[in-house]
Amino acid sequence: MYYLGLDIGSSSIKAALVDSKTGKSIGVVNEPKEEMQMLAVKKGWAEQDPDAWWQHVCKAINKLKELYNISKTQIQGIGISYQMHGLVLTDKDGKSLRHAIIWCDSRAVEIGRNAFKEIGAEKCTAHLLNSPANFTASKLRWVKENEPELYEKINKFMLPGDYIAYKFSGQINTTISGLSEGILWDFKNDRIADVLLNHYGIDKSLIPDIVDTFSVQSVVDEKGEKQSGIARGTPILYRAGDQPNNALSLNVFNPGEVAATGGTSGVVYAVTEHLSGKESTRVNNFAHVNYAKTNPRIGKLLNINGAGIQYRWLLNNLAVASYEEMNHLASEVAVGSEGVCMLPFGNGAERMLNNQDIGSRLLNIHLNVHHKAHICRAALEGIAFSFVYGIEILKNDGSELEVLRVGNDNLFRSEIFATTIATLISQEIEIYNTTGAIGAARAAGLHTWGFEKFGANIMANDHVMTLRPLKDKAPYLKAYNHWKKELELIINQ
């Protein structure tokens, strides 16, 4: 018997099967083979057809069943992870009214910024733990202002994962964690955020019913079975946004536990029990998957736009053949890159820099001394330093760091990158080979396993290695302070 996990990304849909007893991964597939397209009618806009997500979900499920000879009745439950902050709008018949406005769409930036000023920073921090910013509630307000006739037809709005669960079951619901990512949860009063809904003039009736993150949220109905190939009556047992789900996939649930990813962008996600919004303009605060008013667990999310994309840009523009060659070149240069410094912030405005867009910068090149090996090392160090800088911000916001767990993805495969971070934060880094889809599948079994067995399954099946910090921290600290000085000269000018 198996659990099915789905990860609804903006590039592809990933589907995974895990053994229902051991949590061992059976297999993972992607759909479609090519990246899903985003529709950008105007600069800064990003939309996708939510029904295309569903079509790819159904194809991925059928591919899994064929590859591993699985029947529909062998799947005991479904877990769903999804791209955060999206907006799906449906009418009274449950039909999508327009393309979904997805996470990277920036049309509502000014709406959120103005709401933060008008409601007041103190009130937003106390109730929402965040600025309304460019999140789901602000996107819904944009629809009300700019598409009023369509807005009048809305019966419910949903997050991307809510919509996929609805297509399986015909039932519309959401979670507290999901509402918090849309800045629609009032943490002070532990209820839907009237303070923001009233400011935006949004009727509370548009919000779906709330279900627990780990629960029988709904079951596959006759139509869902026909389209997906999953047996009618199969329960949907879990749902969460991609970053809380990534933390879950790495067994990060409690204060002091921190998850990080190092792909195209970088993320540091720290769990805390404190309802603090001290850094609410630089750090996002969401209800973690195991949040409860009596046992608050807040996920503090710090995003770094310019991470792996910086290293990929170098691969494409330096005379090198592979990341392996770049890493080898970098290893030939001493810590600190002999003074060469790279700031990796070339992928748009950085929230952790208070939304400044300072670009990517290569500094202190001596034409008679330095060559591409120095640039490769400076790039890896610069991205690692940006993670350390972000961790300092999280600590300033009350987060503790007792364990750092990461996926075995692009950047953390580099010994230079991972060792630089571990040494500077004086903390071991546990590396795991897992994915969001596998984590979502296991989460579907958490109701029977419990948190202790869930964590044991991850350790038994996914642990790759534990990287320990070097004893000689001095050269790393010197290089980091040099990098930090260069950064702060620019952001404070």
Which class for 242: exposed (0-12), middle (13-18), buried (19 or more C-beta within 10 A)? buried
User: Do the domain assignments include residue 445?
Assistant: no
Helices (H), 160-301: 160-169, 176-181, 194-200, 222-228, 242-249
Full domain range(s) for residue 347: 251-428+468-493
CATH of the domain at 386: 3.30.420.40
pLDDT of residue 351: 86
Domain count of the fold of the chain? 2
Q: What percent of the chain clears pLDDT 90, i.e. is strictly above it?
A: 88
Which class for 6: exposed (0-12), middle (13-18), buried (19 or more C-beta within 10 A)? buried
- Angle between helix axes 50-68 and 160-169 (nearest 10 degrees) is 60
User: Do the domain assignments include residue 457?
Assistant: no
Residues 137 and 13 in one domain: yes
Residues 367 and 297 in one domain: yes
pLDDT of residue 347: 86
Which pLDDT tens digit goes with each residue over 5-39?
Answer: 999 999 999 999 999 999 999 999 999 988 898 99
Residues 219 and 133 in one domain: yes
Instruction: Tell me the C-alpha to C-alpha distance, in Å, between residue 213 and each of 84, 199, 292, 413, 444.
Output: 15, 28, 10, 32, 10
pLDDT of residue 240: 98
Residues 191 and 219 in one domain: yes
CB contact set of 453 (below 8 Å; sequence gap of 6+): none
Judge whether 135 and 53 are in contact, CB under 8 Å.
Answer: no
Residues 205 and 68 in one domain: yes
Report the distance separating Cα 145 and Cα 41, nearest Å. Answer: 18
Which pLDDT tens digit goes with each residue over 53-63?
Answer: 999 999 999 99
Average pLDDT score over residue span 158-186: 98
The edge-to-edge listing of strands for the beta sheet with 403-407 is 284-287, 298-304, 266-272, 257-262, 403-407, 429-432, 463-467
Residues 219 and 281 in one domain: no
pLDDT of residue 141: 98
pLDDT of residue 284: 93
pLDDT of residue 410: 77
pLDDT of residue 263: 86
Which pLDDT tens digit goes with each residue over 322-380?
Answer: 999 999 999 999 999 999 999 999 988 888 998 888 999 999 999 999 999 999 999 99
Q: What percent of the chain clears pLDDT 70, i.e. is strictly above it?
A: 100
Report the distance separating Cα 109 and Cα 479, nearest Å. Answer: 36
pLDDT of residue 179: 98
Final residue belonging to a domain, choices 245, 274, 301: 245
Residues 264 and 226 in one domain: no
pLDDT of residue 256: 96
Which pLDDT tens digit goes with each residue over 282-313?
Answer: 999 999 999 998 999 999 999 998 998 999 99
Residues 281 and 150 in one domain: no
Secondary structure letter of residue 39 according to DSSP = B
How would residue 470 be classed by pLDDT, with cut points 50, 70 and 90? very high
Report the distance separating Cα 85 and Cα 138, nearest Å. Answer: 10
Provide the 10 A C-beta neighbour count for residue 392: 13
Report the distance separating Cα 4 and Cα 61, nearest Å. Answer: 9
Final residue belonging to a domain, choices 228, 245, 262: 245
Final residue belonging to a domain, choices 245, 269, 293: 245
The rounded mean pLDDT for the chain is 95
pLDDT of residue 354: 86
User: Do the domain assignments include residue 440?
Assistant: no
Residue in the structure block whose two tokens are 């627990």: 212
Instruction: Tell me the C-alpha to C-alpha distance, in Å, between residue 475 and each of 57, 86, 225, 335, 425.
Output: 49, 43, 59, 6, 14
Residues 240 and 255 in one domain: no
User: Do the domain assignments include residue 459?
Assistant: no
pLDDT over threshold 90, residue 280:
no
User: Do the domain assignments include residue 416?
Assistant: yes
Residues 271 and 181 in one domain: no
pLDDT of residue 128: 96
Of 33, 43, 41, 39, nearest to 13 by C-alpha is 33
How would residue 277 be classed by pLDDT, with cut points 50, 70 and 90? confident
Q: What does pTM read for this prediction?
A: 0.94
pLDDT of residue 44: 87
- Could you tell me which residue, 163 or 413, shows the higher pLDDT? 163
Residues 66 and 191 in one domain: yes
Name the CA radius of gyration of the chain, rounded: 22
User: Do the domain assignments include residue 437?
Assistant: no
- Element (H or E) spanning 80, and its range? strand 75-82
Which pLDDT tens digit goes with each residue over 185-223?
Answer: 999 999 999 999 999 999 999 999 999 999 999 999 999
pLDDT over threshold 90, residue 149:
yes
Provide the 10 A C-beta neighbour count for residue 340: 24
Which pLDDT tens digit goes with each residue over 90-125?
Answer: 999 999 999 999 998 989 999 999 999 999 999 999
Which pLDDT tens digit goes with each residue over 366-423?
Answer: 999 999 999 999 999 999 999 999 999 999 998 999 999 998 877 998 999 999 999 9
User: Do the domain assignments include residue 434?
Assistant: no
pLDDT of residue 316: 94
User: Do the domain assignments include residue 439?
Assistant: no
Residues 267 and 350 in one domain: yes
